[in-house]
């Protein structure tokens, strides 16, 4: 079992690096397309500056923003003593500082971790998760979330968000300029085929960037599952918890697309996750695949 999980970790790390390289190539391609089409790098510089400004801010305050959007509040240590004890014990085992512990008052079972690094991390669980899970299942869920912290997944997610924002902003500037302006005095320069290629790249780049960001998120879920199972030495606990969470029919009350990728399972519920083309844009792999990977099937 341990061998299978270690192999799974290695594969997902390699795949994530590949996806990030492809992501970088998209950014470079969009930069070329904008520069070629408008024959001026000024818009590119403005877009980069704006994207960096907005996303650096979101990086530094990501934990507070995510907690607020999810309706999470600090878990009183006396009221939730067992929860705090489990988090502390797992953090010690993982060699991490104990993250802040938060509660979401919601009957739907779920949990998430966020923060720019291990020293500024928090773990949040719903009241529904606490009421539905056996101790081994709760330990599996919390080990998964601590693995996200230990694997520095929050940093990876932030980098992906920066890249998506960068690509989207440039594309938006281009499209607005196309509708309300033109290329300027040099419309006849360059090969028409290159101009068409530039337009296609900029229009489709945000979609491609979003798909890659979601793919990175899905791969990281597999990695956190594997790391969490190694932390508890009991993958069956996390597998059972995932089945319970995935089978719950209702969505979180404050579920939203901005924070969906942070949760251990899709906060919109199974019906939303599998409807139409939504599967392509899922932030999480199917529960069945995750359970099979955990149990080595």
Query: Binding site annotation covers 84?
Result: no
Q: Give the max Cα distance, the chain.
A: 73
Of residues 72 and 14, the one with the higher pLDDT is 72
**What is the arithmetic mean of pLDDT over 111-133?**
93
Query: Is residue 225 exposed (0-12), middle (13-18) or buried (19+ Cβ within 10 Å)?
Result: buried
- If pLDDT is split at 50, 70 and 90, which confidence band does 194 have? low
Query: Binding site annotation covers 148?
Result: yes
- If pLDDT is split at 50, 70 and 90, which confidence band does 189 have? very low
Query: Binding site annotation covers 221?
Result: yes
CA angle 281, 287, 288 (to 5 degrees): 115
Average pLDDT, the chain: 78
Which tens digits make up the pLDDT trace of 198-250?
566 666 666 666 666 666 667 788 989 999 999 999 999 999 999 999 999 99
- Look at 52-56, 146-150, 221-225, 265-269 and tell me which has the smallest mean pLDDT: 52-56
User: Would you say the pTM of this structure is higher than 0.75?
Assistant: no
* Helix axes of 2-38 and 192-232: crossing angle, nearest 10 degrees: 160
Of residues 79 and 286, the one with the higher pLDDT is 79
Residues annotated as part of the active site? 145
Q: Which residues contact 281 (CB under 8 A, 6 or more apart)?
A: 210, 211, 214
- If pLDDT is split at 50, 70 and 90, which confidence band does 142 have? very high
- If pLDDT is split at 50, 70 and 90, which confidence band does 8 have? very low
Instruction: Please report the DSSP string for the chain in residue order.
Output: -HHHHHHHHHHHHHHHHHHHHHHHHHHHHHHHHHHHHHS-SHHHHHHHHHHHHHHHHHHHTHHHHHHHHHTEEEPPTTTTHHHHHHHHHHHHHHT-PPPEEEEE--SS--EEEE-SSGGG-EEEEEHHHHHH--HHHHHHHHHHHHHHHHTTHHHHHHHHHHHHHHHHHHHHHHHHHHHH----TTTT-S-HHHHHHHHHHHHHHHHHHHHHHHHHHHHHHHHHHHHHHHHHT-HHHHHHHHHHHHH--SPPTT--TTTGGGBSS-TT-HHHHTSGGGGGG-SS--HHHHHHHHHT-
Tokens 């956190």, residue?
224
pLDDT reported for residue 179:
55
């Amino acid at each position: 079992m341990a061998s299978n999980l270690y192999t799974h970790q290695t594969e997902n790390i390699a795949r994530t690096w590949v996806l990030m390289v492809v992501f970088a190539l998209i950014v470079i391609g969009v930069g070329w397309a904008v520069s070629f089409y408008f024959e001026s790098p000024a818009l590119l510089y403005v877009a980069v500056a704006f994207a960096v400004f907005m996303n650096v801010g979101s990086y530094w305050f990501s934990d507070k923003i995510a907690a607020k959007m999810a309706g999470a509040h600090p878990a009183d240590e006396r009221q939730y003593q067992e929860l705090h004890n489990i988090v502390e014990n797992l953090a010690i085992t993982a060699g991490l500082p104990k993250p802040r512990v938060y509660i979401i008052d919601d009957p739907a079972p779920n949990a998430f971790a966020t923060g720019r690094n291990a020293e500024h991390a928090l773990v949040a669980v719903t009241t529904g998760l606490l009421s539905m899970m056996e101790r081994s299942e709760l330990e599996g869920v919390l080990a998964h979330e601590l693995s996200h912290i230990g694997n520095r997944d929050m940093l990876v997610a932030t980098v992906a968000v920066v890249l998506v924002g960068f690509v989207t902003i440039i594309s938006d500037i281009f499209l607005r300029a196309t509708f309300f302006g033109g290329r300027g005095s040099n419309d006849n320069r360059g090969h028409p085929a290159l101009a068409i290629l530039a337009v296609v790249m900029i229009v489709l780049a945000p979609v491609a960037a979003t798909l890659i960001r979601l793919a990175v998120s899905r791969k990281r879920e597999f990695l956190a599952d594997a790391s969490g199972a190694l932390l508890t030495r009991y993958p069956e606990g996390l597998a059972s918890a995932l089945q319970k969470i995935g089978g719950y029919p209702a969505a979180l009350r404050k579920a939203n697309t901005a924070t969906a990728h942070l949760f251990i399972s899709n906060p919109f519920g199974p019906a939303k996750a599998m409807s139409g083309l939504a599967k392509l844009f899922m932030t999480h792999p199917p529960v069945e695949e995750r359970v099979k990977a955990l149990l080595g099937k």
